[in-house]
Structure 1
């Protein structure tokens, strides 16, 4: 590289960095659950139709208020009434359901006039009896297990982060005016504020931890200001480019993309360290600066190109999952990895061309690294039989453990158990109906049929009773609720009549009421206009995907046994159900991605080494870490879910880098006429230090994710770090043992 080209490359990198830097002020943060659903899947399409017909299932905020003196205390209820009135006036609030708004409809038998009577009338004993004999209020507005009531705040649909901030701040400010014993908040808008605020905080935290760790490591490794500055400047530019690419794509930083900066930081640093280490190595061996730069670019640079491509393939393979959130993370991170390589292979050599070589390094002796690496290699060559046996035993042990991995997930598993938001959600799971939405869609098979017939209302009632008693759904809304309310209305508002009419005469009156209500549009949230598509909605506790998987099967079995499915199709849907199904299908989706990454990387290695045997030798040390991490997950009781599944494709793409660097040097030594064992020793000694150092850098970058308050990010950091540790171990043991066999 001439000085003219060096100046050109530096100018080009600086110009591009300025352009990308100008987009940094436009960086936004994203929390969109819909991106975790496959848009072309039938369950997702059904959910979208269901939501378009009846409305969203999670646009509410729950306010749980505890009063140790009892929930029917007049002064407490007076405060609740005032709170309800204030909350109704907050921005983006459509309605509030609370003890202060509860009314029973009553029809005057002589005139037919309908009037309302309040449920709470000021008599503690009678109010308590009235409330706890009303199944529509128990576990919905009033708790059976705690002296607490719940306010259900209905918000505008799909509130943005800014709108969620406004309503969350206003709601907390309003509640703070009152001296309640205890208050708990839950719901989508509250969760969105907490999640995005944590993403913003951790975005800076991860970068800070990775930066400090790598600066210290670079100084220990190179013991010079130049040795820290050159690689550090290279990767900082790569991070700016990556965030710029993210901004230009119009995407926001999500829980997954929050890991983009530290990932690019450490992956880019790996390229920079390998390149700069090769430059210093050539200088130590007496080469001129020009020759050292040439070798750095065309030997190590070529290997770095292959490692960058394999890493990018690992991330890009997430596109095959079909899940938008993973697709965005995979493609943008892969683009950042390639950008980091382009910066390293242009900016770093250009910098070295335009500056004087570090004279102190030229005469610096090789330290203890050669002796230490020889101390590792020689016993492996001498005892490679035992290395093979030990590797097989380890593989079998981890393989057996990995076979016991289980699929499971919880809606709030991203938050650690001691997080206040998770405790608030748990409060509603324990004392009320829960927070997880439940949605059941029902479509009649006969075109001239209607859900307002006594037969179909009866079937819906059977389903409701099963859902309450067996499945665990409460706070239910459906056409049946309207039928029961109509029957109670015609019997003086007495709770014992909150049932389906059992006489034909009473049913005809109820049916007439229902058809009158349909005309007003009040049944639109639970019944489609053609009366052939109905909805049963409610809330449950966050009991885990395994529970709901078996519960859904049992519900389908019950519906078939009761003959319900003969006249109507039922489909369990909703946000929670789609999350569960996404995780269940993720193993197959990620298997496709991992398989594609495996084939592409094998093909790349085949092109690089032109030998099937070398391809097999290269892949073995990188498949073993995946088996090992699967075993570790099973041993530690970590379930297979979205956050833990993606580490297999990510780690495979990154772990193979060290293997490529070692085998590339091995190929070069063989081409220079070395014997197989001599080529192995030279490769092991010369690249071993850089491999260990870059692995430690990767450890530092990914271990920074373990400081996250999101368990998904924590597990990605922990498990990728462990996988890379296994990869380093197998690269330094089984890989040289496989190569040494060629001398037998």
Structure 2
């Protein structure tokens, strides 16, 4: 490793790069073409992000449920809240819409006014026949009015499933084929068939139709994510290129940097396809992340090239020094950043592992691209003109550097006081931070489908499924009257909770059979007694053969039953309290020796996954901090340097977490990467500063103050450029329609400013204040790694790998 990072090694690297320019460019182009072809294997996930390991208890319970009853997130609902529905013309059009939807192969069952089945008691032989609620077209207003009255007054079985008695809202339930729910066929049906049918009904009837359900929400939300990936990668490139040009005033420097990061983004998509990973809520962040890492590389390399050329006017020597000096330090910064993301590979979550793999590979990839493309392209171009170097001596940049030096020289106490105040305030804010396990919190609030989610929450108490799986431990145990009564009592507890909708289970159907037995009188919609059950059973035998409703809520053996309810978009705290209340009641109602009851469903799995992700974030971030702390100690052969290097990097993270608490931004999958990104970037700045500081120490014969100020002046400009470009680059994400993307962009932008100031003010202040204890000749005399090589200029010219003239 030491040999790998020695000055001789980097001289050889410079020689190889500058002697084999054309070959390397061909290899870069060939690799880009190869990875570009892998784009065909990219696919977007058609399921919610599963944040849990495959063998996690919650996942195993959910998979057990799926084995018994299949995919539960296959329900789409369409609803109308309009008094004119029960008029002949509109009612017939609504029924016609349901008939058209039902004809598609992707739909296995639809329950609408047209499809409603009534249990009709027959005596000879004893049976229940199923007859249609609306058998024919409606021709008169009286017919329509009678249907409305019958629905709202005589059919409690369908209450909160098809209608809301209080508001008059009516909806249809569309159950998709479970085999297509997590495939592209789901999107094709919803986008190409269902939405046009609904739009046509709205156009002809003039009535607004509300549409929701997890398959519908996931489809439109995924489409928004797809649209915004391209939008924000393009916008980030545009903004960063404009800011980059403002600083460097060079079209070619801007163009070269943009080409480099664009190729890096292409590689990122290519690796996703090559590894056959799905684009998920986390991996979708990798392309803009590559811009985040790539732009600093370009800034440091180009700034160093122009700085070197301005000093001695030799283009080839400047390019060689870019590779030998900045290349080494840039490698270290990228390795530490990649290592931080690679810690996610150590988790047991496949989602986190995939993110860690792709992010770390591409961070190393963008380093290689920067190191290869920038020197090679500049070697083919004429030397920088005076106008390209003007930015190095701009008055306002010089003023900024002078301000930093004055602060560090004369106001270190003020810097420490401000840091302590920020730390104290952050601790208060961190105590107010919350965790969000909501499936829909990040969805764009201004879209029609989000407004429809809120509509169904108000009218039918939610659309996110929560399932209760009951194992009676014996065949046909579900239909035992004792089991049904326990299920009914649990259903009443669910109904009393404001966060949950009225549950649906076999209990509803059994109650309806008793009502039908008593000729449809609504007051008999209740569980039968033991004696009544004996009278009713002969009627249900034929009925069970005519309907598949029972199969949806009881398995074929009669051992397993499900109770389905739906949740509102509630906070994690309320969800946990609701879960706790249900588990307490379940424990009371269902003895463990006779029943095994499991709470599951997508909403619960997602909430548990978010908690798991937060715990893994703490572990991964701790591992990253430990790894980089060890690296710093090894690099400088001084564990004391850990204090100096980590304090300016941890403070911005704490300030960011405190901001999240004060502003009310929760910890969730979309904001959880803020800390990893911020830590990686701030550590990069620290390494660049300390590397330059070590170089200046040796050059000045261990004059610490002189070395600190010299390091501040040279690296300060690059850090400032980097932070400003990244600040505006991430700020672009704040125009997103997704709350999580807005929060990510805003928080990272703010954190980058804190990190820049911490590394330019707090870090040099600590070096100066602790110079006799930490930053002295004894502790820094012999580093394990030589980050910046000290090359003899005459030796550089003698070993110059290029054949070009050196007299530029």
TM-superposed deviation, 1:129: 4.9
TM-score, structure 1 as length reference: 0.94
What SS class does the counterpart of residue 720 from structure 2 fall into? helix
Determine if the alignment matches structure 1 residue 623 to structure 2 residue 646. Answer: no
Q: Distance in 2 between matches of 1:632 and 1:603?
A: 29
Determine if the alignment matches structure 1 residue 166 to structure 2 residue 180. Answer: no
Determine if the alignment matches structure 1 residue 382 to structure 2 residue 410. Answer: yes
TM-superposed deviation, 1:674: 4.6
Match of 2:224 in 1: 198
Q: Distance in 1 between matches of 2:386 and 2:643?
A: 42
Deviations 1:472-524 (Å, cap 9, x if unpaired)? 5435332212322332232223322221112x221234456667777887533
Determine if the alignment matches structure 1 residue 344 to structure 2 residue 344. Answer: no
What is the aligned residue count?
Answer: 741
TM-superposed deviation, 1:433: 4.1
TM-superposed deviation, 1:458: 1.0
* Structure 1 counterpart of 2:90, from 76, 79, 82: 76
Q: Structure 1 28/243 Cα, relative in aligned 2: closer, same or farther at 3 Å?
A: same
TM-superposed deviation, 1:440: 0.5
Determine if the alignment matches structure 1 residue 148 to structure 2 residue 169. Answer: yes
| Structure 2: gaps (5+ residues) | 1-13, 136-142, 773-808
Give the stretch that moved more between structures: 683-692 or 209-218: 209-218
Determine if the alignment matches structure 1 residue 108 to structure 2 residue 136. Answer: no
Q: Structure 1 497/117 Cα, relative in aligned 2: closer, same or farther at 3 Å?
A: farther
Match of 2:320 in 1: 294
TM-score, structure 2 as length reference: 0.87
Match of 2:54 in 1: 39
User: Given that residues 526 and 536 in structure 1 are in contact (C-alpha distance below 8 angstroms), is that contact kept between their aligned partners in structure 2?
Assistant: yes
What SS class does the counterpart of residue 539 from structure 1 fall into? strand
Q: Structure 1 269/646 Cα, relative in aligned 2: closer, same or farther at 3 Å?
A: closer
User: Given that residues 553 and 562 in structure 2 are in contact (C-alpha distance below 8 angstroms), is that contact kept between their aligned partners in structure 1?
Assistant: yes
What SS class does the counterpart of residue 508 from structure 1 fall into? helix
Match of 2:108 in 1: 94
User: Given that residues 80 and 169 in structure 2 are in contact (C-alpha distance below 8 angstroms), is that contact kept between their aligned partners in structure 1?
Assistant: yes
Match of 1:428 in 2: 456
Q: Structure 1 218/305 Cα, relative in aligned 2: closer, same or farther at 3 Å?
A: same
Match of 1:182 in 2: 208
Q: Distance in 1 between matches of 2:182 and 2:502?
A: 23
| Structure 1: gaps (5+ residues) | none
* Structure 2 counterpart of 1:439, from 462, 467, 471: 467
What SS class does the counterpart of residue 325 from structure 2 fall into? helix
What SS class does the counterpart of residue 420 from structure 2 fall into? helix
Match of 1:557 in 2: 584
Match of 2:733 in 1: 705
5 Å matches for 1:51-62?
A: 51-62=66-77
Q: Distance in 2 between matches of 1:530 and 1:116?
A: 24
5 Å matches for 1:248-397?
A: 248-286=274-312, 288-360=314-386, 366-368=393-395, 369-397=397-425
Q: Distance in 1 between matches of 2:549 and 2:200?
A: 35
Q: Structure 1 597/229 Cα, relative in aligned 2: closer, same or farther at 3 Å?
A: same
Q: Distance in 2 between matches of 1:38 and 1:163?
A: 26
Determine if the alignment matches structure 1 residue 20 to structure 2 residue 35. Answer: yes
What SS class does the counterpart of residue 474 from structure 1 fall into? coil
Q: Distance in 1 between matches of 2:365 and 2:166?
A: 57
Q: Distance in 2 between matches of 1:366 and 1:393?
A: 35
What SS class does the counterpart of residue 497 from structure 2 fall into? helix
Deviations 1:380-438 (Å, cap 9, x if unpaired)? 23232332232112101111111121223322112232221110111111112421112
What SS class does the counterpart of residue 424 from structure 1 fall into? helix
Q: Distance in 1 between matches of 2:227 and 2:474?
A: 55
Determine if the alignment matches structure 1 residue 590 to structure 2 residue 604. Answer: no
TM-superposed deviation, 1:439: 0.3
Determine if the alignment matches structure 1 residue 63 to structure 2 residue 91. Answer: no
Q: Structure 1 133/735 Cα, relative in aligned 2: closer, same or farther at 3 Å?
A: farther
RMSD over aligned Cα atoms: 2.5
Q: Structure 1 706/363 Cα, relative in aligned 2: closer, same or farther at 3 Å?
A: closer
Q: Distance in 2 between matches of 1:469 and 1:200?
A: 40
What SS class does the counterpart of residue 20 from structure 2 fall into? helix
User: Given that residues 263 and 702 in structure 1 are in contact (C-alpha distance below 8 angstroms), is that contact kept between their aligned partners in structure 2?
Assistant: no
What SS class does the counterpart of residue 36 from structure 1 fall into? coil
TM-superposed deviation, 1:9: 2.1
Q: Structure 1 517/352 Cα, relative in aligned 2: closer, same or farther at 3 Å?
A: same
Q: Distance in 2 between matches of 1:68 and 1:21?
A: 55
Deviations 1:207-248 (Å, cap 9, x if unpaired)? 221122122222222222222222222222222222211221
Q: Distance in 1 between matches of 2:191 and 2:385?
A: 61
Q: Distance in 1 between matches of 2:622 and 2:275?
A: 27
Give the stretch that moved more between structures: 128-137 or 677-686: 128-137
TM-superposed deviation, 1:283: 1.6
Q: Structure 1 170/291 Cα, relative in aligned 2: closer, same or farther at 3 Å?
A: same
Match of 1:30 in 2: 45
TM-superposed deviation, 1:278: 0.9
What SS class does the counterpart of residue 413 from structure 1 fall into? coil
Deviations 1:653-712 (Å, cap 9, x if unpaired)? 222111111111111111222511111111110010100111112212222222221212
